[in-house]
Amino acid sequence: MHCLFVGAGAIATEYAADLADGPLTLAGVCDLDAERAATLADEYGCPSFSDLDAALEDIDAPLVVNLTSHAAHGPVTSTALEAGRHVYSQKPLALNASVAGDLLELARERNLALGCAPGTPDAPTQRRAGRLLADGRLGPVQLGYAYAHVGRVTDWHDRPDSFLDIGPLYDGGVYPLALLVAWFGPVASVRTADALDSWPDRVDQRPTAPSHVEAMLAFSSGPTVRLTASLYTPHRSREFYGLELHGDDGSLYLDGTGAMTDSPDAVRYGRVGREYVGAPAQYPTRRYRYLDPVESLAHSVDAGRPSRATGRRGAHVVAVCNAIERAAETGGPVDVADHGAAADPVSAPTVGRRGVGNGTDNERPHSLRLPPIGVGCSRYREGEYVERRDSIATALDAGYRLLDSAELYGNEHRIGELLAAPGSPDRESLFVIGKPWRTNHHREHLIEACRGSLDELGLDAFDCYALHWPEAWAHRGPLARLAEQPVGQQEALTFPEGEDGDIVTVDIPLKQAWKALETVHERGLAHTLGVCNVSRAQLETVLDAGRVRPALVQIERHPYQPRSDLVAFCHERGIRVVAHSPLSAPGLLEEPVLTEIGDSQGLTPAGVVLAWNVTQGVVPIPSSTTPAHIVGNLGAAGERLDTETCARIDGLRRPGFER
């Protein structure tokens, strides 16, 4: 779609820089400064203008991108709408709520699209924070603190006048305001506000509007947020565009409401009573571009549904800014016009049981949709038992959604307590794997084991219940709350030794154990079934014998032992592969090739191994008791390696590897 840029300053250059990658073409540039317009237009081979009416007359572009200075936004948008053009405007939509309302009305009457910056509520970091909120991790949100420390524009902007005339609200304040309105819907009233004229005496050029504003905003959906917007507070202060929200069950910290690039630490979650934990992206993200919201506006026009959603939000944000100014004069409260700003629903989590084939009747199931990485819940560490309660809580807080639990790990009751605690993810957003121990392969024991594990976890059903091992051992009693028993007793129950000291096996063939597992599925205690530590031949036995197909296979997998044939065999059949013990093979994390690759990709050697698994469609389930490792491992799941890098890692393979 052709577009006309009106305004050719610094921000126009930023918008133009992304034109080459998208569907928009620059058909003309208009700026009161004819030279500036010509410079930008020449670069893109289009005509330039210093008169808006002439530009609209000459250029047949359906979309005007309004990149003028703040005070010109309203008049330019009005002229463009009057000329029948769709408009995307830089922030703010106007400086006055009634002007903004008129623009919306005009766009509505003529069925034209009207968009307004900032589009950053849709940027990757903000969406990640929004998902945390939508997941209900904070519980009801009652309070928030938002900052917009625009800083001393006289120091950092080549044309500060426009900022000094309007103050910090209409430029910086709109970032947190647009995001909060996207999340919580409209502000009902400004409870109180105050404004100051703080400015250094030695700087001659002074703001004509108040340089510092504080306001308490009451959102109609519940939260009260204190907003601080300042030209006085330096933009390098500790708080820049930070936002902190507090709910009954947890808190959220977002370090940049207007951020366009993602950083792993930009979103942090603090479950009530616990430290903040980084919640990194676990899916690949891309840089947010200034042109993204303009392109989606153009798309809405192409689709015959010209959107005014961000225009409505922009108009409401202007109304909030006006109300803050009035409240600062009168002391408040001041009601705020809605302008149709409704909360954009924040998308639901993408993990869980969506796409789960129930696998009955041996038809080819759809592959399970799993999170890219999970957390291993085992207590075992080089022959020792370690307490995992805290580290599993940290993993849940950071955003892990796949839990690998097992009867043998003996800590299902502790995981259950964590899942029941305020601030834990909803059941629907989790994928929980359970595993009966090999002393429970007899049908009755298996059902009892499954029910016992579910009781301890506080769940109705597992997302996947997987045989821990294909071979059966002698039953020595139930394994409930194993972690609470003396170590000797735990071992006697789980590693049944005969008088000769050898493990006592029992003759329950894999086929029979699988049939017993199918009963668990039939009774609704597991949505899908799986099997761990199998060879390809054993998996074929299950596939041939069973009525319910395995949806998941869990094997030890790392670069020393990639099990490529088995992985390919599973993937061809829609069976997901989960890699257990992905990091703990002796010497693996010291491999120079992993360090080298990691250095070039900003990853640790562990991160490289995890990204290698994820790139190949395998879900690693590392375990860690070190908070930085827990968060870093999750972040590595958002990385993808190219084919050449994967091949270098494949080169570490050690045929016949054994621990």
Ligand X SMILES: NC(=O)c1ccc[n+]([C@@H]2O[C@H](COP(=O)([O-])OP(=O)(O)OC[C@H]3O[C@@H](n4cnc5c(N)ncnc54)[C@H](OP(=O)(O)O)[C@@H]3O)[C@@H](O)[C@H]2O)c1
Residue at token pair 């950092």: 156
Among 229, 231, 247, which residue's Cα sits nearest to residue 137? 247
Angle between helices 97-109 and 309-330 (to 10 degrees): 160
Question: What would the DSSP string read from start to end of 270-333?
Answer: EETTS--EE---SS------TTHHHHHHHHHHHTT----HHHHHHHHHHHHHHHHHHHHHH---
- CA 133/CA 138 separation, integer angstroms: 6
Torsion of CA 172, 177, 180, 184, to 10 degrees: 180
CB of 388 to ligand X, least distance (A): 8
CB of 608 to ligand X, least distance (A): 10
244 vs 407 by CB, closer to ligand X: 407
Contacts with 111 (C-beta within 8 Å, 6 or more apart), sequence order: 306
CB of 117 to ligand X, least distance (A): 39
67 vs 583 by CB, closer to ligand X: 583
CB of 582 to ligand X, least distance (A): 5
CB of 421 to ligand X, least distance (A): 21
CB of 558 to ligand X, least distance (A): 7
Strand partners, 561: 558
CB of 408 to ligand X, least distance (A): 8
471: left (phi over 0), alpha (psi -120 to 50) or beta: beta
Question: What would the DSSP string read from start to end of 32-65?
Answer: SSHHHHHHHHHHHT--EES-HHHHHHH---SEEE
In this structure, the strands spanning 114-116 and 86-89 are parallel
257 vs 623 by CB, closer to ligand X: 623
CB of 631 to ligand X, least distance (A): 9
Q: How many CB atoms lie within 10 A of CB 461?
A: 20
Q: How many CB atoms lie within 10 A of CB 604?
A: 19
97 vs 466 by CB, closer to ligand X: 466
Binding site for ligand X (CB under 6 A): 376-378, 404, 468, 532-533, 554, 580-584, 589, 604, 606, 621-626, 629, 632-633
CB of 622 to ligand X, least distance (A): 4
490 vs 581 by CB, closer to ligand X: 581
152 vs 388 by CB, closer to ligand X: 388
- CA 648/CA 104 separation, integer angstroms: 57
Tokens of 105: 């009305």
DSSP helix, strand, coil percent of the chain (3-state; round to 5): 40, 20, 40
3-state secondary structure of 114: strand
The single-letter code of the amino acid at 251 is: S
Residue at token pair 């959603």: 309
SS3 of 174-198: the string is: HHHHHHHHHHHCCEEEEEEEEEECC
228 vs 604 by CB, closer to ligand X: 604
Tokens of 117: 């910056």
- CA 446/CA 252 separation, integer angstroms: 41
- Does 409 participate in catalysis according to the annotation? yes
183 vs 400 by CB, closer to ligand X: 400
CB of 422 to ligand X, least distance (A): 25
3-state secondary structure of 551: strand
- The catalytically annotated residue of 15, 88, 170, 409 is 409
CB of 542 to ligand X, least distance (A): 15
367 vs 633 by CB, closer to ligand X: 633
As a whole number of angstroms, the longest Cα–Cα distance in the chain is: 99
Q: How many CA atoms lie within 13 A of 139 on its CB side?
A: 15
C-beta of residue 92 within 8 angstroms of C-beta of residue 321: yes
Among 194, 197, 252, which residue's Cα sits nearest to residue 226? 194
152 vs 557 by CB, closer to ligand X: 557
Among 271, 245, 248, which residue's Cα sits nearest to residue 257? 245
Residue least distant from ligand X (Cβ): 376
Q: Catalytic residue numbers?
A: 409
